[in-house]
A = this chain, B = another copy of it.
Amino acid sequence: MAIIECVPNVSEGRRADVVETLVSAIRSVPGVRVLDSSSDPSHNRSVLTLAGEAGPLQAAILALFEKALAVIDLRTHTGEHPRLGAVDVVPFVPIEGVTMAECVTLAREIGRAVAERFGVPVYLYEEAATNPARRNLEDIRRGEFEGLAEKMRKPDWAPDFGPPAPHASAGATVIGARMPLIAYNINLATDRLDVAKRIAAAIRHSSGGFRFVKAMGIALEDRGIVQVSMNLTNFEKTPIFRVFEVVRREAASYGVNVLESEIVGLVPAAALVGTAEYFLQLSAFKPEQVLEARLRHAE
């Protein structure tokens, strides 16, 4: 049995009944489970977390679009978070028994189906991108819904699927495949914000650090401490334990201790199992030795 995670971001985070309608449309598809739904009113955006196999997920995403197009109109949508479409972003994430290549294929199939059925232009991003300029979501989304008609007139921004102009009320959609993202923070036993900022600069990709780390240093003012706040975008290639150990060592060079760390939201079991393997120096450990993994695969 394959497990694919799918995390559609929709441009509605204020009307709870509307979000519930969208979630219900997904739940009505057999074989798809809704693991989480969280709405942010100031962003006016909801993030849904689904899991299932390819076929059920495709049906669920089409059901989501059908409902979302009926109830969300970007022409009257406001919110702090950048967005391009009613269903703004749809990433597929390989979790178990499925390859990234299979998730890329699925993203492209669903992108084509969405464009054909609903007339919404679709851009493919991250691992599913068809050219390097479209890998980063931020680049595709720059200009947002309000600038989309003008942006799409440039030949570089012809969509991967669908019409060469925005859908009137639903804009465009970005669909793709990526690794699971881990929101990971390390709290330092100090109030020195400069230390957190310097460590963040040392470990993030953009300033010379690890390839799959985004990081910033922030103050947790109510607690009188600082935090290195991170997104780990590929825990297989830049694992959580290596990031922790480097942050710990960097902090020590300022005479600062790690107070604690925290994982926000969901984390794949493999990231924690890999951490245990590292610190226990486990040799020849196989994922099938985890009892619950065996359970999922036993007949």
Contact = CB atoms under 8 A, between A and B. Distances in A.
Contacts of A280: 240-241, 244, 261, 275
A263 interface: yes
Contacts of A27: 299
A267 B281 contact: no
Given A260-B282, A280-B241, A298-B51, A35 B266 contact: no
B34 A298 contact: yes
Interface stretch (A13-21, A39-47, A287-295): A287-295
Given A33-B299, A273-B272, A283-B261, A266 B241 contact: no
Nearest to A51: B295
A292 B268 contact: yes
Interface of A is mostly: mixed
A262 interface: yes
B263 A282 contact: yes
A267 B244 CA distance: 25
A281 B285 CA distance: 23
Given A261-B281, A261-B283, A283-B260, A267 B291 contact: yes
A5 interface: yes
